[in-house]
Amino acid sequence: MASIRTLFYGLGLLALTSVLPIQSAAAQGPWSDVWVAQPSPFEGDVFNAYAFRDMKLPGPTSVWSRVRNFRPHGNHTDIIAFSADEGQTWDVEYVASGGPKDGTQILNACTTDGLHSWVLISQYPTGDKILLATASGPSKLEPLPAPPQNASMLRFFTATNGILIGSPDGAAAIWPLYQTTDGGNSWKLMAQAPAHLANDLPTKLYQLGSSLWLPTSKNQLLFTHDQGLTWQVATLPSNGVLVSLAFIDSSRGLALTDADKLVRTTDGGNTWTIVNTARLDYRDLVAVPGTPGTYLAYGTEKEGTSVSFDGGSTWKQLESGIRHSGMAASSATRIWSDSFILGGLYRARSLVLSSRSAQLIPALLASPNPTTGQLQLTAVAYPRIITFTDAIGRRQKTATLPAGATSFDVTDCSPGLYVLSCTGNGQTQNQRIVITAP
């Protein structure tokens, strides 16, 4: 990537590609009951500000994010950061840099597993687009053939299959949606894309498994549940423009508008209803997979995190000590976040997901963990409903255990990451479970 780096670092910034062993900062302050400090590749830099964006947890122990480094005089550098070992070491690649009038910036980026990643870069003031890709981590990012020059966002479902969203001309009849089946080396414009409203623009792009949701500036919502093969269009309630969206599974989700209205869907985005709840102080939502209806709200507007256990109907302040710019959850026992500007990273302690209260508990519901298939649960004096879901919230097994029963068999589940949920006596507890091959 030498020639690309020469372009990116015209301002004199040297390219850095390294795996950094970092020592974790000690947890302290009122937020330490919720968030535990984790190793961060930037926590030793006290002269610059950082914001994690599009944070993902693509594997059982992996963390991936694009990062904006705010530098003096309106300058910036854009970074892709990846850890395969739960944040103990980091592969960090500086891929773009610029100032107020020239340079490059990350326009959009995505990953499937942390190793396979794609980075869409825009040069300004020309607006030319560059697409980088890697199959082995950020330090191996290399340029692909030039993408469509109206490219604005992209997502991949596998190492080969992906969707690219173009910014349409004001009078375009259909949305410029492109598909690739060769990892981004070539793109084909979809002939059967949804109709486009005059001067409508894409605002954000959200993904969960094979589903994508694309809200627009005119309160339209384009969505697909089959990796972009077919698309549907819904109209969001006219209570402001959508600023954040989060789905627990392919059916259930929440959206927040810039008029502080919360709306809910239970059919994958086709219909939406207004949630009558108190005004949220935050502008970003995260769904917690594998839970009946748990969401977190955060934002750079104000320190803290709020939590809802009932699908957004009621909210509780979880902490008020950290101003977050990025957050991701793969289960109720694995939630990562950052501290805006400071560049620190944090992981949430395990939560009891109860509609009555938010309490901290140890995640010791079942053992052994990892397991090859047979779990032993802690004995309790009341019956429990057991739900076993995969990492993206798809239900794999359910069972009702009578009081005193402790055995739960998952030998018919493939190796991978799962969430075990136990509901009984008025509360739900969750534990991340790893199944390994026998």
Mean pLDDT of 361-379: 77
Give residue 290's pLDDT.
83
H helix or E strand, kind and range, residue 57: strand 49-59
Place of tokens 């977050």: 324
Structure tokens at 338: 């950052």
Confidence of residue 10 (pLDDT cuts 50, 70, 90): very low
Distance CA 148, CA 137 (A): 24
* pLDDT for residue 393: 64
Q: For the domain bounded by 366-435, which CATH number is listed?
A: 2.60.40.3080
The pLDDT of 401-414, averaged and rounded, is: 91
- Contact indicator for 288, 297 with CB cutoff of 8 Å: no
Q: What is the pTM of this model?
A: 0.75
pLDDT at residue 67 tops 70: yes
Give the model's pLDDT for residue 21. 29
| Average pLDDT score over residue span 183-212 | 95
What does DSSP assign to residue 272? -
Closest CA to 8 of 136, 72, 95: 95
Q: Is the pLDDT of residue 256 over 80?
A: yes
CA distance 281 to 304: 9
Backbone angles phi, psi at 287, to 5 degrees: -90, 145
Q: What is the DSSP letter of 71?
A: -
Mean pLDDT of the residues in the chain: 84
Domain ranges of the chain: 1-193, 366-435
Calpha distance 335→34 (Å, rounded): 10
Give the distance from CA 16 to its chain's centroid: 25
Distance between CA atoms of 261 and 268, rounded to whole angstroms?
A: 19
Please tell me the predicted confidence (pLDDT) of residue 351. 54
Most confident of 136-145, 299-308, 422-431: 136-145
